[in-house]
Structure formats: C-alpha cells, structure tokens
A and B are shown apart, each in its own frame.
Chain A
Amino acid sequence: MLKNKKFIVILSAIMVFALVLTGCGPNNPEGDNGGGGDGEAAKDSLIIAQGADAKSLDPHGTNDQPSSRVSKQIYNTLVEQTVDMELVPGLAEEWNQVDETTWEFKIKEGVKFHNGEELKASDIKFSIDRMLESKEVAHIVESIESVEIVDDYKIIIKTAKPFGPLLAHLAHTATSIVNEKAVTEAGEDYGQKPVGTGPFKFVKWDAGDKISLERFDDYYEGPAKLKTVVFRNITEGTNRTIGLETGELDVAYEIEPIDKGTVANHKDLQLIEGPSLSMAYIGMNNLKEPFNNEKVRKAVNYAIDADSIIESVLHGAGQKANSPIGPRVFAHNDTLEPYGYDPEKAKELLKEAGYENGFNTTIWTNDNPIRLQIAQIAQAQLKEIGIEVTIEPLEWGSYLERTANGEHDMFILGWVSVTADPDYGLYPLYHSSQHGSGGNRSFFTNEEVDKFLEEGRVAIDAEKRAEAYKKAQEIIVREAPDAILYYQTQNVGAQKSVKGFQLHPAGHHSIYEVSFE
C-alpha cells in the first residue's frame, strides 16, 4: 500500500517539475540555436563566448574590451589597423597631410549604414564631435581641434598641435563612425540600438546573456560569409572550454592557461595563439619610502623571476618583457636588456640602499585571479631577499581610487597599448603630468622622459618619433619605476571547422572573414 503511495508522490513530483519547466522557457526568437552543430549542411551561424557582457554598443560611451569586441563587427573606423598593425584605409579612401596640423581625408562613396542611410562627411564630423564630448573616449581624440566638411566626401581634421599618432588613434574602436540620424533618434538608448557601417548589424541583446548580430548584406566590402554571429557571456573560464568541447560554442575567447592543452589536443578543436599588445607590471610608489630609492626598485626587479611567473601562472603564454611596450608596438626598443632573476644582486642592492635586513611592505591587487597568483609568487620571491610583503586584494573601485591618491606601496596592473603606438603605451604611464588617476600610478617623475614623450607626440616624422621613444624606454627601464613582467600571449579556442579566424593583437578580432568549412 505504501509502495503505491510512493509511486504517486514521485509521479506527481515529476509532473510538477515538467510543468514548471515547459511553462517557462526563455523567449528565444531564433529557431536555430546553433548548438551541437557539426555535420549540419552549410552552417553559417557562429557562437562566440567571452568572459563578460558588453557594457554598451555605443562606441563613444565606453572603452572596454568586451564591448569593443562586439562593436568592431558593427562599426568601421576611418583608418583601420590590420592584424600586423599596419594602418590601412577604412572608411577613408585616402588621406594626406596638408601641413603639420592639418589632415585631409577622402571618404569612400556608397558606404551604407545599417539603417539605409549613406555615409556622408557630416556623419564623420558628427562622430568626432561626439567623441570629443564624451568623457569616456575624449582622451583618444583630444588632439583634434576641429573637423571641417569640405564636401560630402571630404573632410579636413585639424589638430591643435602637431600630433604624430593621429592615424593610429583614428583606428581605435572608440573612434568608430556612427550615423547621426540613428544616434539622434535613439537618444540615451543608443547604446542598445547601435547603427554602424560594419559587416554585421545588431539584432538583439539579452542583457547579461548574449548579443545577436546578423549579416549586413549591403556591406561596402561585400557581405560576410556568416549569416549570424552570437556573442555569449560565459564568465567562468573553465566553462568556455567545456562549451567548446560539448559543441555548444564555436569560438571561445581567453581560454584559461591550464585548459590550453585540452583544446589543443582535442580532435575537433584548435587553439589559436598570438601576440597581444598587453603588458603586465608590478608598480612601486616612487614617492614613498623605500621605493623612492632607485636601488630598492632595482633590487625588486632582480628579485622577481618573471619567467617563473610566465611558466606557472600563464603556463608559458607570455614573453618576458624588456620594455613597457612590446615588440608589436611601434618603436619598441629591442636593445634593452631585461633585469634577470638574480637574488644575490638584489640583496647587494638592498644592502647598498641601507636595507640590509629588508623591510615590510604591502602589495595591492584587485580580485583578478591572475594578479592574485602573481602577487603570491612575488611575495615568496621578495621574501628571499628579506622583503616581507603583505598581499591586500582590493575592490576595483577602491583600487583605482586609492592608487590614484598614492596611498599604496606596490601594486599589480596591466596596460594595453591598443593603438600600437608608443604614445598610448608610454605617455599615461610615465609622463609626470599623468600622476595618479591619469595612469602614472607609480608616480614616476623624470624630466628627460617627459621631454622625449612630448617630442614623440608632436613629431610627425616616424624616424624622429622612434628615436625619442627608444630613448624614453631606455631611461624608464634604467630608472626602474616599476617591475615590468611580461607581454601576454592571447589565445582563442575554436572548432576545427571554423576557418579564417585571425587574432588581432589589440584583442578585438574581426569576424568578417570567418566561415565554416
């Protein structure tokens, strides 16, 4: 009798459960989820996973990587930067420099926006003026004084002072060209209703979950091969690899170092690796004792073994750094010798500096797991030379605020020279006018470096610029305001059937050329 009852209870439980399940599926307009995937004929829907949701698809409203990765597919810039960091025409057909501060751009004709409007010089002026108004991205175009419309397909950009890296800046995703009408119509909601000229147009954004894009058939370079692209937000690194393995994802950005082997050795998967423009460093507060002593800073450099960090934290996915800007950045100084791992020398330097018995200090980091690991290794290595370090993980908000105020001793941060130009990579980090929130959180001050950085900024001649930046790098490395660790190798995992995927060193990869086998 009780058996019977048990059965009924279980049955009803299952029924309740099933009822609830069927009653509450999400609103999923696309009939084809694209999941599972292989074997189906002519697959043309690509599912990409990245570790965070985009913030906004208004390129002038935010400057974060997850957003750029999506915006890159929707918009174009006047100038474009190839995966080899070469500057090539984008929406501008050609340009020439009239004088030191005047640039003339000829704009491609017949370029259509996703809303059917044709690209005109007025849209470009509107976009650049809008960037200048935006607090988030104004710093990228701040050199620009005015944009003048000559005719529908010609504009003149004037800079206040000569500005060497102008073209590289006009290739930054934050300088994407938007449509005046679309922006005005959408008002404050433009970030969720983007309209660009790119190969894919925006379809739908499920907040926190995924962004769906669709091929733009009137793309000026010809339609893309894929019909739809979906950017999914998969926070856990391990899960992105799992998604590739189960076939629910076609491409996954930022495979965890430990999972690289799994992807590389999987019969259906490929691991695509390549250099990036990012650099990781341990900063020191140059205004505070004992880091105001150059010898102490050098001792720290000698005590930290970047190779062991690359090996154990990144599983080899990095290259030991010899300068704050990497080899992919213009004017990288490859003659500089990195500080080697030499604890004896470090101890000697500490002794010379008067810290024979070491000292106690703190190292700050945010909750980034890689930085937490670096902190622990650095802590162990500094202990070897007598420096007792306490690790203090801070929330990103207080981390930024308090390092800007100079409350810190040591800290761990990274920097991406997105434009591949040394101005972007060096000026914020080392110019004395940028102390604190400007980016120079080491509070490094050196008149010579300031001079070279300014020189490189205003010079137009490439060779002259290169010379200034190489000298600046030399002094920076010699003075050791920070301990530069490595340039990270970036990776993407993908199904083997995915073809034509190329890594862009800046981290926002174009999907235009991608197709399925």
Chain B
Amino acid sequence: MTSSIAEKRDITSKNKNKKRSQWAEVWRRLRKNKMAMVGLGILIILIVSALSAPLIADYEDVVIKQDLINKLEEPSLEHIFGKDEFGRDIFARIIWGARVSLVVGIVAVGISVISGGTLGAVAGYYGGKLDTVIMRIMDIFLAIPSILLAIAIVSALGPSIINLMIAIGISYVPTYARIVRASVLSIREQEFIEAAKAIGASDFRIILRHIIPNALAPVIVQGTLGVAGAILSTAGLSFIGLGIQPPAPEWGAMLSTSRAYLRYAWHVTTFPGVAIMITILALNLLGDGLRDALDPRLKQ
C-alpha cells in the first residue's frame, strides 16, 4: 500500500522534473531563434501597451470622443495617426483596440482549444464507439466552412464581442480536436501511461496529468497561429457587417468601416491595417519559432 503511493509520487515528481527541464530546453532553443524573439518582442510590446492603454489615453475622453468638425484630420504631432471619420484619435483607438483584438483572438482560441482539446483527448483516449461518434461530429463541423459557421452563429446571437469570440471559437473546434486526438493516440500506448494505469490512477487524472501535458506542443503551435487567424476572421466578419458593437475600437471594424475613405484619407485604413498585419506577423514568427523549438528532430 504505502509502497504504491510512494511509487506514484515518485512517478509524478519525476514527470514534473522531466517536464520542467523539457520546457527549459524549449525556451533555450526558442531564444536562439532571432525571428521568433522579434515576434515575441512585438507581442510583449503590444500586450504591455494594451494593458497600459488607460494610462496612454482616456477611453471616455479620447477613444470614443467625437470631434465631427475635425473628422479625417491628417496625422500631426498632436494626433500622430490622425483622426477617423468621427474625428476620434486613431492612435488612441489602436492602443485600446489592441485590448479588444488580442482578447477576442486569445479567448476565441481558448474556447476552441479547451472544447476541441477535451473532445479530442476523450476520443483519442477511449477510442472505439465514442471516438467514432465524436470524430464524425467533428467531420460534420469541418464540412461547414468555418467563416460561414461563424456568420451563422453571429447572426443568430447578434454581434457583440462575446458572441464573436464564441462564433470564431466554435468554428475552430474540429481543428484542435483532430490535433489533440492524433497526439493522444500516439501517447496512449506509451509506457508511462501504462504505469499510471497500473497504479490505479483514474482516467480523468491520466488525461489531465499525463496525456494533455504531453499533447500540448502541437496545440501551442497551432494556438499561436490560431490567434492570428481569429484576429483575421474578426476583421472579415466586420467587413460583412457582423463586427463588434460600435463605438468600441476593434482593428478589424476600424479597417472595414473606414474603407470608404481609403482614397481620401490614407491614414484611416492604413494604421489599423498595419496594426493587424504586425500582430499577425508577430504571432506567426513566434508560432514558427515554437514549432521548431518543440520539434526534437530539429535539435542540432
């Protein structure tokens, strides 16, 4: 009895140590990748400015404050990105927009990772009929083009930030379910799972403590790229009139609602467009770096 508990503890702590050193190794490799570090740097700057947005510009007095007389004003020292069609400061809106866009992206991916990941893990771990049922349902969702699924959901629930996150999140569930299932299938048969089973660990515990951590690598890579995809999807939904509630600043909405002014006031579309591009670029650089860093075959 006691010996088995000790054994169990031993396995977990060993695993923990192994995990820690594994992540340290990944970080060490990632640090060597210059492009990934550039991406990470950009993201950190974005996150910091999103967090400190209230210090940079007041929401009520700057971000949503209209100044119709000076609408579409060109960039100047005072308003470095100029003003939009309501005379609002574009710089302030971009900084605040980082909050919205990043949150939408991250939460949407979070939704799909958690629900897709769980489904995939359960399907892969138990196999058999359950696997078949879950994966067939995922196939069905996969056969509905994701942007169209998002459109249907947003038009059903009404456009708001939360509904957008849900819609985009749901539409990517099958992707993560597949990825996690594939990893779980390869992990399931490995020795340490057998060992855990042998000492009587519950399925829930095995999935949570052993399978998921080990299937994490591809999910992290896909998730990083997924945030980028979600931000682009949000922009796309704004374009067809299913964006967030105005006057909240969101890059995609800023870009698409100002497209009529594209030819007359270059700054109105350019800055939100560039903000989106830089963010996606950074996420991609980081995602690529992570992929390389997490892939042991590339260890040289």
- A314: chain B residues at CB < 8 Å are none
In the bound assembly, the distance between CA atoms of A258 and B71 in angstroms comes to 12
The answer to whether A367 and B259 touch across the interface, beta carbons within 8 angstroms, is no
B154-176 toward A: CB 8 Å interface, digit per residue (1/0)?
01001110000000000000000
B66 lies within 8 A of A376 (CB)? yes
Tell whether A379 is near chain B: CB-to-CB under 8 Å: yes
Interface contact A367-B68, CB-CB below 8 Å: no
Q: In the bound complex, how far is the Cα of B263 from the Cα of A126, in angstroms?
A: 52
Question: Which residues in B have their C-beta under 8 angstroms from that of A256?
Answer: 260
Using Cβ atoms and an 8 Å threshold, which residues of chain B touch A258? Answer: 260-261, 264
B242 to A, closest residue via Cβ: A367
Set A311, A376, A394: member contacting B246, Cβ < 8 A: A376
CA distance A397 to B157 in the complex (A): 12
Residues in A neighbouring B158, C-beta threshold 8 A? 392-395, 398
- How far is B85's CA from A258's CA once the two chains are assembled, in angstroms? 10
Query: What is the interface size of chain B, counting residues whose CB is below 8 A from a CB of the partner?
Result: 23
Could you tell me which residues of chain B, from 128 to 172, have a CB within 8 Å of some CB in chain A? Answer: 155, 158-160
List CB contacts (< 8 Å) of A225-246 with chain B: 237-238
Closest to B87 in A: A312
Within 8 A of A (CB), among B238-262: 241-242, 245-247, 257, 259-262
Which of B68, B245, B262, B263 touches A308 (beta carbons < 8 Å)?
A: B68
Complex interface residues of chain B between 273 and 289 (CB less than 8 A to chain A)? none
- A238 lies within 8 A of B262 (CB): yes
CA distance A238 to B265 in the complex (A): 14
- Asked if A391 CB lies within 8 Å of chain B CBs, one says yes
Shortest Cβ gap from A514 to chain B (Å):
28
CA distance A311 to B71 in the complex (A): 11
- Residue contact B246 to A375, C-beta cutoff 8 Å: yes
Nearest-CB residue, chain A, relative to B64: A380
Once the chains bind, are A391 and B68 in contact (CB under 8 Å)?
A: no
Q: Decide if A238 touches B263 in the complex (CB within 8 Å).
A: yes
Chain B neighbourhood of A433, CB < 8 A: none
- 0/1 per residue, B65-97, Cβ < 8 Å to A? 110100100000000000001100000000000
User: Given the complex of chains A and B, what is the CA–CA distance between A367 and B239 in angstroms?
Assistant: 10
Complex CA–CA separation, A376 to B244 (angstroms)? 13
Whole-angstrom distance from the CB of A391 to the nearest CB of chain B? 5
Taken together as a complex, chains A and B put the C-alpha atoms of A379 and B160 apart, in Å, by 17
B interface residues, Cβ below 8 angstroms from A: 64-66, 68, 71, 85-86, 155, 158-160, 241-242, 245-247, 257, 259-264
Complex A-B: 22 CB contacts under 8 Å: A237-B260, A238-B259, A238-B260, A238-B262, A238-B263, A258-B260, A258-B261, A259-B260, A259-B263, A262-B263, A367-B241, A372-B257, A376-B86, A376-B247, A377-B86, A380-B64, A390-B245, A391-B247, A393-B159, A395-B158, A397-B155, A398-B158
